Amino acid sequence: MTNPNNATISTVHTAEFTSGHALQIPTLRILQDDGTIYPGAVAPELDKETALKMYHSMSFIRVLDERMLAAQRQGRISFYMQCLGEEAATVGSAAALDDKDMIMAQYREQGALRYRGFSLEQFMNQLFSNEKDLGKGRQMPVHYGSKDIYYMTISSPLGTQIPQAAGYAYAQKLRGLANVTICYFGEGAASEGDFHAGLNMAAVHKAPVLFFCRNNGYAISTPANEQFKGDGIACRAVGYGMKAIRVDGADILAVYQATKMAREYALETNEPVLLESIAYRLGAHSSSDDPSGYRSKEEEEQWRKNDPISRFRLWLLAKGWLDDEADKAQIEALRAEILDALKVAEKVAKPGIEHLISDVYAEPIPELERQLAELKAHIRKYPDAYPITSGRMS
């Protein structure tokens, strides 16, 4: 008999509910807070060079976040978002990928960008929206993107990258590429309709995409228990016929192993995987947010003990791969380097206004040229309202 309903029919003769919490997904943990491996756990195979690259990428982002939030408070940049407490989730997952796997991020994955090789200068140029910015000054700060390192430009609307990732991964499969797409988003974005459409599309069309949910407890000010009733996000994969794995997002070894396993499965089967990182957003949602209005200092301090960088650092020290004094000196040098780069980038001129339309099409169409001319006329009429732009018009 055919099965047009695509549903398993296991007959019963007495009505009964299936519990909404019938499925509970375990959380993978390998690295303990003291830097030792859990009894019975096996650390993934990592060479010294890769492990140190992961550590230095996390350390770089921690210092960059610290410095650039201060710069925003000083009025030097308009906006900033930290990934404080989630460095292991983004760096560990990026380290498990191939360099040509596409990354589609939300807005807290600068660790993955750094691991791919985004330079300090490139970070600064984007944050200051100057004429060296790869996005030509058309994006908010932290909305990074780089074609050269397969990092799709970030957009502000939540969840739009999820169906896009399904489509991109499907194209990778059709082209016969030995690559996957990884799509990052928060548990708040998993409440968007794009989440359900994207996952269903990927599952039905067998697209090799890794959906990586960073469940950090809050969608801006909305706690997870006010966002959804189910057991986190990973359990939703079952509803789409997908594989799922949940991981301690502050444990970089666990994140690396889970992502590596998920990537191998996606390539072998051309099927998607949903990964859920359980961590905590130690900082505010953004520089525009005050978390004291919705969570306590005691809660934050409790989670601060679960610092992903400290945990990995202890593991590296125990293996003899990291020198304590040299590492501390390197962090101090990095602080000075970032401050120097900031001072340079903020003095670089802003992009010319013609870049608003320069690559919407291969050649600007007449309608865009007309609109640009009207904009220039408006700015010339009110130059005091546009002090920077009015001095950069040709």
Task: Give tens-digit pLDDT for 102-153.
Answer: 999 999 999 999 999 999 999 999 999 999 999 999 999 999 999 999 999 9
Query: Quick one: 289 and 336 in the same domain?
Result: yes
If you average pLDDT over every residue of the chain, what do you get? 95
Q: Are 167 and 103 in contact (CB under 8 A)?
A: no
Distances (CA, A) of 174 to 120, 156, 207, 268, 270: 36, 29, 9, 14, 10
Question: Domain span at residue 115?
Answer: 27-35+44-345
Residues 317, 358 within the same domain: no
| pLDDT for position 111 | 98
Say if residues 159 and 153 touch (Cβ distance below 8 Å).
Answer: no
SS3 of 182-194: the string is: EEEEECCHHHCHH
Does residue 196 carry a catalytic annotation? no
**Banded model confidence at residue 394, pLDDT cuts 50, 70, 90:** low
Is residue 335 domain-shared with residue 385, that is, in the same domain? Answer: no
Has residue 391 got a pLDDT over 70? no
Residue 144 falls in the annotated catalytic set: no
Among 133, 289, 167, CA closest to 219 = 289
Which pLDDT band, with edges at 50, 70 and 90, does 345 fall under? Answer: very high
Give percent of the chain with pLDDT exceeding 90.
Answer: 91
Q: Does 337 map to a domain? A: yes
Is pLDDT above 90 for 291?
yes
What are the residues facing 104 on neighbouring strands?
Answer: 152, 183
CATH for 300: 3.40.50.970
Question: 181 has which bridge partners?
Answer: 102, 209
Residues 250 and 108 in one domain: yes
Among 294, 304, 370, 380, the one annotated catalytic: 294
Are residues 179 and 156 located together in one domain of the fold?
Answer: yes
Residue 194 resides in a domain: yes
pLDDT of 101 reads 98
- Tell me if residue 294 is catalytic: yes
Segment holding 376, helix H or strand E: helix 366-381
Residues 6+ apart with CB under 8 A from 165: 102, 104, 181, 182, 183, 198, 202, 209, 211
Is the residue at 327 inside a domain?
Answer: yes
User: Rounded to whole angstroms, how far apart are CA atoms 354 and 393?
Assistant: 8
Report whether 51 contacts 257 (CB < 8 A). no
pLDDT greater than 80 at residue 312: yes
Match 């697209």 to its residue by tokens: 207
Residue 4 lies in a domain: no
Inform me whether the pLDDT recorded for 360 exceeds 80.
yes
Determine which helix (DSSP H) or strand (DSSP E) holds 216, and give its type and residue range. Answer: none
Q: Does the pLDDT at position 1 exceed 70?
A: no
CA distance 245 to 323: 34
Q: Is 2 a residue whose pLDDT tops 80?
A: no
Q: What letter would DSSP give residue 45? A: P
**Residue 18 lies inside a defined structural domain of this protein:** no
Strand partners, 245: 275
**216: Cβ contacts below 8 Å, ≥ 6 apart:** 85, 86, 186, 187, 249, 277, 279, 280, 281
Q: Position 22: which residue type?
A: A
Does residue 381 share a domain with residue 236?
A: no
- Cα separation, 129 vs 370, in Å, equals 25
In a domain, 121, yes or no: yes
For residue 202 the two structure tokens come to: 């990927």
- Token pair listed for 281: 């957003």
How many domains does the chain contain in total? 2
Residues 233 and 272 in one domain: yes
pLDDT digits (tens, 9 = 90+) for 63-77: 999 999 999 999 999
Catalytic residue among 56, 108, 246, 285: 285
Tell me what pLDDT residue 215 has: 97
- Res 145: pLDDT: 97
The pair of structure tokens assigned to 249 is 């997002």
The residues, any chain, with a CB within 8 Å of residue 302's CB and separated by 6 or more, are none
Residues 50, 178: one domain? yes
Same domain, 245 and 110: yes
User: Is residue 9 in a domain?
Assistant: no
> How confident is the model over 277-293, as a mean pLDDT?
96
Q: Find, among 222, 229, 227, 226, the residue nearest to 281 by Cα.
A: 222
335 shares a domain with 386: no
95 CB-near residues (< 8 Å, 6+ apart): 50, 53, 54, 115, 256
Same domain, 278 and 384: no
Tokens of 323: 């020198």
* Token pair belonging to 128: 């200051």
Q: Are residues 369 and 305 in the same domain?
A: no
Active-site residue, from 56, 116, 143, 281: 281
In a domain, 324, yes or no: yes
